[in-house]
C-alpha cells in the first residue's frame, strides 16, 4: 500500500483541533486505489466526554441567541460549503469511492439544507389555549441541549453538514460522529465550522462506532440522538440509550424498497426509473435504493431485456473521472458482503442476468470495483429479496395482479420508500395509500422535494427529517398556565 501522508487530520472539540486522547488513529484508504490517503483520530470515550462538555458549555449562549443570529450563522456555513464545494466533493470521491458527479450534487444538497432550516427559525412557534377569564395557557418550544448525530458512510459531507442544520436552528449544540469509513470531508467541514460558528456549538469526534459512537449514545448529558444507518445498529442504539436514561431517539434506517411496474406503464420511463432508483451511480449504497423491481408478468420479459441493456451500458471507471457512471465500493468489508449476496442469489435459484463480476484489470486492479448486477426470477421470500445488501444488486420478480404486487411489496420488515409506475392515476393513488412505506413516488424515483418529510415505516426508522417536523423534533414542548386576575 502506497502512503499519501502520515499526518493525522484532527477532530474538532470545543473549537480546538485535537487528536485522540490515547493517540489512536484510523487509516483512511482510497477504495479506488487501495492507497492510504491520511490518518485521523480514533476518538475515545474521554474524547466524547470532552466534546459533550464543550457542547454543554456553548449551549446557554447559543440557545439564547436571537433566532436571526442562528440563521445568519447557518447561512454563513452554507456559503462556506458552496465556496469549497468542489474540494469537499473530491474528498468524498477519494474517501468514499463514488463518482464526482454524484458527490458534487451532495455538496449542493448540504448547503441547500443549511439554508432551508435557517429560513425556518421563526417557525418554532407555541400555541395559546383559551382558559377562562383572568387565565392564560400557552406553550413554548425549547431545545434539548446537546444533540448527538451519528452519520453513515454513503453521503459523508451531505449528512455531516445538512444533519446539523435542524438541531442548530432549534438552539441545540451538536456532537457529530462521522462514519469511521468516511470521515475526511467532515473533518474539512470542521475548518469551515470554526470560521462560522462559536466554539463548542458543533464538535466532530471521529472514531469507531463501538467506542466513540457507543460513548455518545450512552452519555447521560445527551438527551437527543439521531442516527442514519443499518436497522440492526438502530435497534442496538435504542437499547443502549435506554440503559442510561430516557432519550429522544430518531432513526433513518435501511430499506429494501419496491419499484412496481403495472402493465399500462410507459416502459421506457419505468426502465429509466429503475436504473436511477437503484442508485447504481453510487454503487447502490443508499437506504432509498429501489432494489426490488416488481413487474407485471405480461411485460416482465420485455422490461428486463431493456433494463439489463441499460445496466450493461453503465461505464465503470475511476470515481474522479466525470465520465464514470459507477465507482468503487466503499471498503473491503462491504465488497465481501455484496459478493456474498451475489453468491446467495445464484445458489438460491435466481438468474444473474447481467453484471456482478469484480473488475481487476488495468485501472481497476488495486480498487474495489464491481459491475452492477441484475437478478431475475427472484423468489420474493428469498434472502436476495428480503435483506438489505447496500450494494449494486437489483432483484426483479413478476407479479400477477394488484393484490399480488401489494403483498410482495409489503411482505418485508422494511418500509422506507416505494415507487409505482402506471398511467392509471386512480391505481397510483390506491397503491400510494396501501403500500407500507414512508415516501412514495408515482412515475418517479429518488427525488426529495424540499420541505417534505422523509422517513420510514416498520424497521426503516422512527421520526421524519427534511421538513419542519425535523426542526420541531429537536425541541421539547413546555406548557405554561398563568392566572392573572389578582
DSSP run (H or E) holding 146: strand 146-150
Please give the full DSSP string across 340-367, using - where no structure is assigned.
HHHHHHHHTT-EEEE--PEE-SGGGTTS
Task: Tell me which DSSP letter residue 213 carries.
Answer: I
Contact 262, 420 (CB under 8 A): yes
Contact 427, 402 (CB under 8 A): yes
Angle between helices 67-83 and 184-196 (to 10 degrees): 130
Residue 459 phi/psi, 5-degree rounding, is -80, 10
Q: Which of 287, 388, 465, 470 is catalytic?
A: 287
Q: CA dihedral defined by 195, 199, 204, 205, rounded to 10 degrees? A: 140
Q: Which of 252, 388, 465, 472 is catalytic?
A: 252
Dist CA 452 CA 468 (whole Å):
8
| Among candidate residues 182, 161, 188, 159, the one with its CA nearest the CA of residue 319 | 182
Q: Is residue 287 annotated as part of the catalytic site, yes or no?
A: yes
Question: Which residues are within 8 A (CB) of 46 and not within 5 positions of it... i.e. 6 or more apart?
Answer: 21, 22
Dist CA 26 CA 36 (whole Å):
10
Alpha-carbon distances of 391 from 154, 365, 372, rounded to whole Å: 11, 20, 8
Residue 161 phi/psi, 5-degree rounding, is -85, -50
- Residue listed under C-alpha cell 445458489: 347
Q: Which residue numbers are catalytic?
A: 252, 287
Amino acid at each position: 500500500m502506497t502512503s499519501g501522508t502520515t499526518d493525522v487530520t484532527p477532530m474538532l472539540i470545543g473549537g480546538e483541533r485535537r487528536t485522540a486522547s490515547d493517540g489512536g488513529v484510523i487509516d483512511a484508504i482510497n477504495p479506488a486505489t487501495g492507497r492510504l490517503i491520511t490518518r485521523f483520530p480514533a476518538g475515545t470515550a474521554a474524547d466524547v466526554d470532552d466534546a459533550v462538555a464543550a457542547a454543554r458549555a456553548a449551549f446557554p449562549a447559543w440557545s439564547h441567541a436571537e433566532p436571526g443570529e442562528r440563521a445568519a450563522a447557518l447561512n454563513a456555513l452554507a456559503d462556506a460549503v458552496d465556496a469549497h464545494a468542489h474540494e469537499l466533493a473530491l474528498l468524498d470521491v477519494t474517501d468514499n469511492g463514488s463518482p464526482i458527479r454524484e458527490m458534487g450534487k451532495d455538496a449542493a444538497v448540504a448547503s441547500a439544507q443549511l439554508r432551508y432550516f435557517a429560513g425556518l427559525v421563526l417557525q418554532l412557534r407555541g400555541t395559546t389555549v383559551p382558559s377562562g377569564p383572568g387565565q392564560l395557557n400557552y406553550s413554548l418550544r425549547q431545545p434539548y441541549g446537546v444533540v448527538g448525530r451519528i452519520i453513515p458512510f454513503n453521503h459523508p459531507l451531505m449528512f455531516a453538514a445538512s444533519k446539523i442544520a435542524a438541531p442548530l436552528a432549534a438552539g441545540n449544540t451538536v456532537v457529530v460522529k462521522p462514519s469511521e469509513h468516511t470521515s475526511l470531508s467532515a473533518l474539512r467541514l470542521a475548518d469551515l465550522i470554526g470560521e462560522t460558528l462559536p466554539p463548542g456549538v458543533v464538535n466532530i469526534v471521529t472514531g469507531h462506532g463501538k467506542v466513540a459512537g457507543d460513548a455518545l449514545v450512552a452519555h447521560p448529558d445527551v438527551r437527543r440522538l439521531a442516527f442514519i444507518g443499518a436497522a440492526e445498529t438502530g435497534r442496538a442504539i435504542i437499547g443502549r440509550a435506554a440503559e442510561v436514561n430516557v432519550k429522544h431517539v430518531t432513526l433513518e434506517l435501511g430499506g429494501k424498497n419496491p419499484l412496481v411496474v403495472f402493465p399500462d406503464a410507459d416502459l421506457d420511463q419505468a426502465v429509466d426509473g429503475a436504473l436511477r432508483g437503484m442508485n447504481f451511480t453510487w454503487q447502490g449504497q443508499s437506504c432509498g435504493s429501489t432494489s426490488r423491481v416488481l413487474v407485471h408478468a405480461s411485460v416482465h420479459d420485455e422490461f428486463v431485456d431493456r433494463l439489463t441493456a441499460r445496466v450493461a451500458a453503465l461505464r465503470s471507471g475511476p470515481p474522479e473521472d466525470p465520465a464514470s457512471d459507477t465507482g468503487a465500493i466503499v471498503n473491503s468489508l462491504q465488497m465481501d458482503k455484496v459478493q456474498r449476496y451475489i453468491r446467495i442469489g445464484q445458489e438460491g435459484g435466481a438468474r444473474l442476468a447481467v453484471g456482478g463480476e469484480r473488475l481487476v484489470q488495468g485501472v481497476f486492479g488495486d480498487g474495489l470495483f464491481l459491475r452492477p448486477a441484475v437478478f431475475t426470477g427472484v423468489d420474493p421470500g428469498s434472502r436476495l429479496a428480503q435483506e438489505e445488501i447496500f450494494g449494486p444488486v437489483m432483484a426483479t420478480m413478476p407479479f400477477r395482479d394488484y393484490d399480488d404486487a401489494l403483498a410482495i411489496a409489503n411482505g418485508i420488515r422494511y418500509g422506507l420508500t416505494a415507487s409505482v409506475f402506471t398511467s392509471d392515476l386512480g391505481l397510483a393513488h390506491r397503491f400510494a395509500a396501501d403500500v407500507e412505506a414512508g415516501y412514495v413516488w408515482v412515475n418517479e424515483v429518488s427525488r426529495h422535494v424540499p420541505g417534505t418529510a422523509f422517513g420510514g415505516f416498520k424497521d426503516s426508522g422512527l421520526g421524519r427529517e427534511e421538513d419542519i417536523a425535523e426542526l420541531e423534533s429537536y425541541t421539547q414542548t413546555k406548557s405554561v398556565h398563568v392566572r392573572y386576575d389578582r
